[in-house]
Structure 1
Amino acid sequence: MSRFLGPRLKKIRRLAALPGLTKKKKSQYSIQLKEKQKLRFYYGITDKKLLIYMRIALQSKSSTGLFLLKLLETRLDNIIFKLGIASTIPEARQLVNHGHIKVNGNKVDIPSLQCHTKDIVLTYYKTYKKYEIFYVDKIIHKKFLDFKIDELLVVEYYSRYT
């Protein structure tokens, strides 16, 4: 019977923590970085844009982590995804970029537009030549997110840079 002689850390990362294979412990920095990357990849934004959102959240009077999630959840591409117009966030970005979306009667082609409650989102389907109207009635709370995220670790990560 043979044993695996390839790169051990790749296996450990893929299979999660298996005791007895390594002495390495995850640092606090690596845990914070992983949470930040989860946030980045889920919403499809760059480090620079996330840093901008973080600076805005730091200036708010409410909880920084929750305000950061509110900023990310109220982006137009995410609203379109949550309303069910698009099946994925990248698809929602493409719908906005191609000009198929109107917000409050104005044609919008910026996926990072911040929506507010009582905004009216119109989608135009050229194949059917009709509009569908959706209302943004509430901002999604943290407990309704599709994935588990510890936003305080992201705030701690960015506290080094701001």
Structure 2
Amino acid sequence: MGRYTGPVEKLSRREGVELFLKGERALNGKSALERRGDAPPGQHGQARRKKPSIYQTQLRAKQTAKRYYGIREGQFRRYVQKANRMHGVTGEELLNLLERRLDNVVYRLGFAGTRAQARQFVNHGHVRVDGKKVDIASFLVKEGQTIAIHGPVREVAAASTELTGVVSGWLQTDFEALEGKVLRLPVRSDINAPVNEQLIVELYSRL
């Protein structure tokens, strides 16, 4: 299945949480989730079941994470498998991998209004890691690396920094230079994401 290209606010309503897929619109409290509530999309809205099954709850947790980070099923499954082979807690290792994606780091640094925009910056070659062009959105950053925005998108990136609040403690940002640094690898307390990683791990353990 290809990448979803429909109205992105439907995804937030479907999961019942704000996924920040619309950038400034969500920050200004104008998202569809704010205006219409968490009823699933549809012509008349659809009532949520009062007591979903365990599988449904786990599935929704996975879909929320995939949509939040903008990742397809096959790639997401590979992240889960990789996290399972690591030495730490599988769910936390999974979030660590997702957070270290270059497109997510560009977004977390405040250089893009959405992860989709950050991914576009990376794919079009406007991001440098330690001074070298990296055009792979799934590139995993490491401790000590620097990330900078180059080229004609600098003006767009500079506008995005105006909407940025607090940058996560594992990152450091120079808004004027449009450059950031990975101070350390993220831990669970650094990751403010509407994701229940334990449910995701439980889901894949039964597949």
TM over 0.5: yes
Counterpart-to-counterpart distance in 1, 2:186 and 2:106: 13
State how far apart, in whole Å, the 2-side matches of 1:108 and 1:148 are: 28
Q: Which residue of 1 aligns with 2:19?
A: none
Cα–Cα, structure 1 residues 160 and 121, in superposed 2: closer, same or farther, change >3 Å? same
1:152 maps to which residue?
A: 198
Scaled by the length of structure 2, what TM-score is found? 0.64
Q: Does 1:135 align with 2:181?
A: yes
Partner of 1:96: 122
Whose relative contact order is higher, 1 or 2, with alpha carbons under 8 Å and at least 6 apart? 1
Residues in 2 aligned to 1:107 and 1:54: alpha-carbon distance in whole angstroms: 28
Q: What per-residue deviation string (whole Å, max 9, x for no partner) do you get for residues 128-161 of structure 1?
A: 7996332111333323433332111000101123
Instruction: Structure 2: give runs of 5+ residues left out of the alignment.
Output: 1-41, 156-175
1:127 CA drift (Å) = 7.1
Q: Give yes or no for contact 1:124–1:131 (8 Å, CA) kept in 2.
A: no
Q: Which runs of 4+ in 1 moved over 6 A?
A: 127-131
State the Cα distance separating 1:62 from its structure 2 match: 0.8
Pair 36,128 (structure 1): closer, same or farther in 2 beyond 3 Å:
closer
Question: Is 1:11 equivalent to 2:46 in the alignment?
Answer: yes
Unaligned stretches of 5+ residues in structure 1? 1-6, 18-24
How far apart in 2 are the matches of 1:119 and 1:70?
Answer: 16
Give, as a single letter, the amino acid of the residue that structure 2 aligns with 1:45: I
Contact kept, 8 Å, 1:73 with 1:139, in 2: the verdict is: no
Percent sequence identity over aligned pairs: 36
> Over residues 30-67 of structure 1, what are the superposed CA-to-partner deviations in whole Å (9 max), with x where a residue is unaligned?
00000000000000001100110011111111100000
134-143 or 68-77: bigger deviation: 134-143
8 A Cα contact 1:35 1:153, kept in partner: yes
User: How far apart, CA to CA, are the structure 2 residues paired with 1:124 and 1:132?
Assistant: 8
What do residues 66-97 of structure 1 show as CA deviations (whole Å, max 9, x unaligned)? 00000000000000000001111000000001
Aligned CA-pair RMSD: 2.4
Provide the residue aligned with 2:64 in structure 1.
38
Map 1:64-79 → 2, pairs under 5 A: 64-79=90-105
CA contact 2:121–2:153 (8 Å) conserved in 1: no
